[in-house]
Chain A
Amino acid sequence: MSDVRFEAPSSLSEAVKILAGAKGPSRALAGGTDLIVQMENDLLEPDLIVDIKKIPELRAIKPEGGGFRIGATVTSMEMIEDASLCAKWPGVIDGVKLIGSIQVKGRATMAGNLCNASPGADSVPPLVAAGALARIVGPNGTRESPVEKIPVGPGKTSLAPGEIIESFFLPERPRNSGDAYLRFTPRTEMDIAVVGVAINLTLDSAGVCTQARVALGAVAPTVLLVDECANALIGTRVDEAAIDKMAAAAAAACKPIDDKRGTREFRIKITSVLAKRVAQKALERARHTA
């Protein structure tokens, strides 16, 4: 017996209409790599699944205003295969590359990674560091939201009933910008971040940091965008002292828990270590991009 209604509309308005009209628990299906696992493990029993992959405008990566618009159903592999995106936003790609296996990346999307609202989602810290905006479509129209405003706690988002993510916007980058993401996991692959750190920074022609965003994953109920970290870098040449100060601010900002994937104490220590390594990587990239 099939108790779960399945719809695969071909337009965004239709998808929104179906989801907004849902009475019981409903889910939009993009890559399915979290949704199907939760159903398999009996953690989720939706009444309605709406496959949004047949909606054309959700499926593309397009240049827009010097940056990129990435549709909600674009898979990780499609992003990894987009050379211009990889060249411009390598830190975002760092995160996307870490979402599961090649098989999983063949299906998984950033929108799903974000809406699953796991504090350890690998694509979220780099999106937040990038200042990415999510375009959300719902019964009351379209709105734009900074990515960091979408998850509000583990498994919870700020999306209203019937709302879905339509796309992400990665803005145009000034010259000499670099971003990077690293996570700590005991295994090299197929693991969930114990800590994740993303840094996006811009240097001026003299090598002084003019803009920075630092985002931390898996150390709080949601990804943290830490202004103190950014402030530690801005106005410096991102030298060792500045990086140390930024790393200390990152450690101070952590509010992690003890769980099967790591202890509180360990997470705080690793945050500081990763923050330093990511800063070096982002700096290196900023220096080498035109």
Chain B
Amino acid sequence: MTTILKKPGFNPDRKYKIIGTSPVKHDGFDKVTGRAKFAADAFLPGMLVGKVLRSPHPHAILKRIDTTQASKVPGVKAIITRDDFPEIKQGTGGGDMTRLAMAREKVYWEGHPVAAVAATSESAAKKALKLIEVEYEVLPHVIDPVEAMSPDAPILHDYMRTKGAKGPDAEKPTNVVERHALGIGDVDKGFAEADVIVEGTFDTKPMHQGYIELQSCVANYSDDGQVDLWCCTQAPWVYRDRLTEILKIESSKIRIQQSELGGGFGGKTTFYLEPLSVVLSRKAKCPVKMTLTRVEVMRATGPVSGTQSTIKMGCKKDGTIVAVDSTLVFQTGPYTGSAFTNAPQAMLTRYDLKNVRTVSYEVVSNRPKVSSFRAPCVPQVVFGVEGLIDELATKIGMDPIEMRLKNAIVEGHKTIYGETFNRIGFVETLEAAKACDHYRAPVPKGQARGIACGFWFNRGGETTGSMNLAPDGTVTITLGTADVAGSRMSMAMMAAEELGIPVDRVRAVLADTHSLGYNRVTAGSRTTFSSGIIVVDSARKIITELCRRAAKIWNVPEEGVVFEDGVCRPASSNVGEFEPLSIKDIAHKTTYTMGSISGHSEMNVTGAGPGFAVHIVDVEVDKETGLTSVKRYTIIEDAGKAISPAQVEGQFQGAAVQGIGWALNEEYVYGSDGRLQNPGFLDYRMPVASDVPMIDTVIVEVPNPKHPFGLRGVGEVPLTPAMAAIGNAIGHAIGIRPRSLPMSPPKVLAIIEEARARGVLPAG
């Protein structure tokens, strides 16, 4: 269907009735009464329980699996292993995917599935798991990405050769998936112009997305080969197509219905249980429900990349940054997929730099495959970049916001990766930060302040949706993107605004994969933007049709009808004297005109406006214990246009607290045996309510010219500078800036001692 967004761009003169308000979310009612149906809340008649047997070893050859004894346990209906999955060549996308779902030749991390059981009860399934005999040949393992790059590191895949590598080692087996170089100008020349140069090596540990909802799914494989799959996912169509690829089931036979999503943050973009439950259901001839435990979530689902960044940066006395050189290492799991090229593209994109060199490496390791998390791979590197800018600002005696303003990019900037920016709001965001209460307030005694800035591209991509007008004049929207935090409501608001009806007359629901065409993963802060464009386009199609119907009712030419404020009226008195027809009036008569009215839209959406944020944080560091307390936190960010300001604030605040967790405590702690030591909420230490203050927000609105309401994505940006801002604050508190995440008490206490020894922090 053609796109009819006649004026797709932003209209600065438009006055809004609904956009910019924060009505109660329609999906909220079921969430406060316990009726909302999340993945684990589904039950089917005759449903079995599925459980997974996982490798206790981080790296081993899978020599033999014997399920004979296990299959004798009363109540066990099916057991599956690698033999139940079609062979797909190693080193291909499909080959990687099937091996992530179920180990084949080797196990690659502690927690890698090696078998799964479906039984009539969880007890029976667990009993069977214990009776499955697995013979492993344990191999040396490697988890740290820098160690994995060393010449004597254990090799995960004999077939792996570094993409983009040059030189004599290019043909040797390696753990380095890819070497990626990106840059502009002449870095050596740039450093020659520098008055001050700083450099450092920064490292970050894997951390988990930490969604509270455990992954769960129910699969029903019917006798005619139709698969019905209910699950929590950010990517129903992606799951479907991957199931098609690894299970060789036609897409038309796989119908995925997404449940309410109990948090994802990128972590529910990759499937884990889904292929197992489908194969178990096929074998058992019953529906199978599988739910991960929290320990399984921690051991076997996507923590983010651990990283190491070595960055050198130089500036002139006036604050102009003249050169940046960096070497970046990104840990992935056993296979590629970290999206690491985001980092060299985004790490400096907000500053107008002439000389940049980046070399980035993606490295496999014996831990679960990396899964996305808010701005994948970017916050880790921003931790270093914004730290060094802070050091430069201190050295030249410049205010940290002024330093950034000095280098800030504006409309027309051509990025290092080739995109030229339309209207952007970085300068406005920095100015708003400078003017906000927090920044103007003196730093309280005993505390220290840090600031940092971040950027995310924001995304568009393939999106489809439908809108239907009911005979009573109410509207339903079928969305292909997932609702990760309230997008159904934002869509309803945009539809209501466009159609001129109250938002309560619109309801949005989440489609299954049979109801709409392909939708790209709900990630990268693309949803409100992309589905928003689909919704506006669909609404405008409905409006066109409404005008056509009004013309038919009045028996006038179509161009004689205009739509304004929710009603069709004659374009002028020349057309005739007619009482305006409301949406409801026309909807009620569709049986007598040309049948029901609907709008549908599908696009590969482009024009996502980039987003920028400034974080300001005040911390207090206990200099005897190294404990950091966050006392005040403000996020200033350009949202383009906040459709629902309360929801935008919620995105900022949630990201800030995730950032506080990542900055201060969250990390994967591995033992020397390659096993995760802290696979639960108790020892993983996500922030609790008493760990954090209120999070203040300033929403800057520099409209995105490519969206009818001017909006920009807001989900990823607010995580990007968080750890850097906190690191800068701690650095100011103790005299030396930490360069390793998490900035946990033992590390900070060691730095305090070093600072005292170096005389940069007074004793006592």
Contact = CB atoms under 8 A, between A and B. Distances in A.
A–B direct touch, CB within 8 Å, in complex? yes
Contacts of B90: none
Interface in B108-136: 121, 123-124, 126
Contact of B744 (A186, A191, A259, A273): A186
Interface string A67-87: 000000000000000000000
Given A189-B690, A266-B746, A273 B677 contact: no
Contacts of B744: 186
A188 B745 CA distance: 13
A260 interface: yes
Interface in A229-278: 259-263, 265-266, 269-270, 273
B627 A190 contact: no
A15 to B, nearest CB: 26
Contacts, number: 51
A187 B688 contact: yes
A80 B741 CA distance: 37
Given A191-B685, A260-B669, A263-B746, A184 B691 contact: no
Interface in A154-206: 184, 186-192
A1 interface: yes
Contacts of B124: 1
B625 interface: yes
B748 to A, nearest CB: 10
B665 A187 contact: yes
Given A1-B124, A260-B677, A263-B746, A187 B687 contact: yes
A186 B682 contact: no
A260 B625 CA distance: 17
A140 interface: no
A103 interface: no
A289 to B, nearest CB: 27
A213 to B, nearest CB: 24
B678 A186 contact: no
Contacts of B123: 1, 3
B691 A187 contact: yes
Nearest to A186: B665
B295 A186 contact: no
Contact of A269 (B669, B678, B685, B749): B749
Contacts of B74: 1
Nearest to B130: A42
Given A1-B124, A41-B295, A273-B624, A186 B685 contact: yes
A17 to B, nearest CB: 29
Contact of A186 (B121, B669, B681, B745): B745
A190 B688 contact: yes
A31 to B, nearest CB: 16
A260 B691 contact: no
Interface residues of B, number: 27
Interface in A1-56: 1, 3, 40-42
B755 to A, nearest CB: 15
A217 to B, nearest CB: 16
B321 to A, nearest CB: 35
Interface string B418-458: 00000000000000000000000000000000000000000
Contacts of A262: 746
B664 interface: yes
A187 B295 contact: no
Contacts of B669: 260
B682 A190 contact: yes
Contacts of B664: 186
B171 interface: no
A233 B669 CA distance: 39
A259 B677 CA distance: 9
B683 interface: yes
A262 B121 CA distance: 40
B690 A191 contact: no
Interface in B635-693: 664-665, 669, 677-678, 681-683, 685, 687-688, 690-691
Contacts of B681: 190
**Most chain B CB within a 10 A radius of its CB, from A187, A188, A192, A261:** A187
Given A1-B123, A41-B295, A261 B683 contact: yes
Nearest to B123: A1
A261 B664 CA distance: 14
Count chain B CB atoms within 10 A of each CB in A3, A186, A269 and give the residue with the most.
Answer: A186
A191 B682 contact: yes
Given A262-B746, A269-B749, A270-B625, A189 B688 contact: yes
Interface string B389-425: 0000000000000000000000000000000000000
B688 A188 contact: yes
A190 B686 CA distance: 10
Contact of B627 (A1, A42, A186, A265): A186
Contacts of B665: 186-187
Nearest to B74: A1
Contacts of A260: 669, 677-678, 683
A266 B745 contact: yes
A41 B295 CA distance: 8
Given A1-B123, A41-B295, A188 B690 contact: yes
Contacts of B625: 184, 270, 273
A260 B744 CA distance: 12
Contacts of A192: 682-683
Contacts of A184: 625, 627, 745
A5 to B, nearest CB: 15
A187 B691 CA distance: 6
A82 B295 CA distance: 37
Nearest to B680: A41
Contacts of A263: 746
A234 B501 CA distance: 79
A41 B664 CA distance: 27
A191 B627 CA distance: 14
Contacts of B687: 187
A63 B745 CA distance: 42
A262 B683 CA distance: 11
B143 to A, nearest CB: 15
Nearest to A269: B749
Given A1-B123, A1-B124, A273-B625, A188 B746 contact: no
Contacts of B627: 184, 186
B681 to A, nearest CB: 8
Contacts of A269: 749
Nearest to B628: A186
Contacts of A273: 624-625
Contact of A266 (B293, B677, B749): B749
Contacts of B749: 266, 269
Contacts of A270: 625
Nearest to A3: B123
Nearest to B689: A189
B603 to A, nearest CB: 45
Contact of B691 (A40, A188, A265): A188
Contacts of A189: 688, 690-691
Given A191-B685, A270-B625, 11 more contacts: A3-B123, A42-B126, A184-B627, A186-B627, A186-B665, A186-B745, A190-B681, A191-B682, A259-B677, A266-B746, A273-B624
27 contacts: A1-B74, A1-B123, A1-B124, A40-B293, A41-B295, A42-B126, A184-B625, A184-B745, A187-B665, A187-B685, A187-B687, A187-B688, A188-B691, A189-B688, A189-B690, A189-B691, A190-B681, A192-B682, A259-B677, A260-B669, A260-B677, A263-B746, A266-B745, A266-B746, A269-B749, A270-B625, A273-B625
- Kindly list the 8 A-B residue pairs having the minimum CB-CB distance in the complex, ordered from nearest: A266-B746, A260-B677, A188-B690, A273-B624, A260-B669, A186-B665, A260-B678, A188-B691
Interface of B: 74, 121, 123-124, 126, 293, 295, 624-625, 627, 664-665, 669, 677-678, 681-683, 685, 687-688, 690-691, 744-746, 749
